[in-house]
Amino acid sequence: MTKSTTPGNDGSLITSLEEKMEADASSIYVGNVDYGAIAEELEDHFHGCGSFNPVTTVCDKFSGLAKGFAYIEFLDKESVWTSLTLDDSLF
């Protein structure tokens, strides 16, 4: 069994490959995010798609500057499909 330090839906650590695969299946990649955007703006944009964990905006580990993309982990897989209706949308 593979150990991981990825946070789970309830804030606990994911401890198995199966749990990591489940988290990945309920997550989306959001690209072309404005460098000045904050997580709350993305949360507002995707709020109608379903419940999700806090948005993860990716930043450079040295400068702390945004890299222009984010991840959203929904609490259910159906919300992932709903979120696809927002593909190519602006916020």
Arithmetic mean of pLDDT, 15-19: 83
Strand partners, 28: 72
Give the confidence band of 10 by pLDDT, cuts at 50, 70, 90: low
Which CATH architecture does the domain made up of 27-86 adopt? 2-Layer Sandwich (3.30)
Say which residues have a Cβ less than 8 Å from residue 90's Cβ, sequence separation at least 6.
none
**pTM score of the predicted model:** 0.79
Q: Where are the domains of the chain?
A: 27-86
What is the C-alpha to C-alpha distance for residues 76 and 47, in angstroms, rounded to an integer? 14
Convert the pLDDT of each residue in 41-82 to its tens digit. Answer: 999 999 999 999 999 999 999 999 999 999 999 999 999 999
Q: 23 vs 73, which has greater pLDDT? A: 73
- How many C-beta neighbours within 10 Å does residue 42 have? 21
Burial of residue 64, with CB atoms counted within 10 A of its CB: 0-12 exposed, 13-18 middle, 19 or more buried: exposed
pLDDT score, position 12? 59
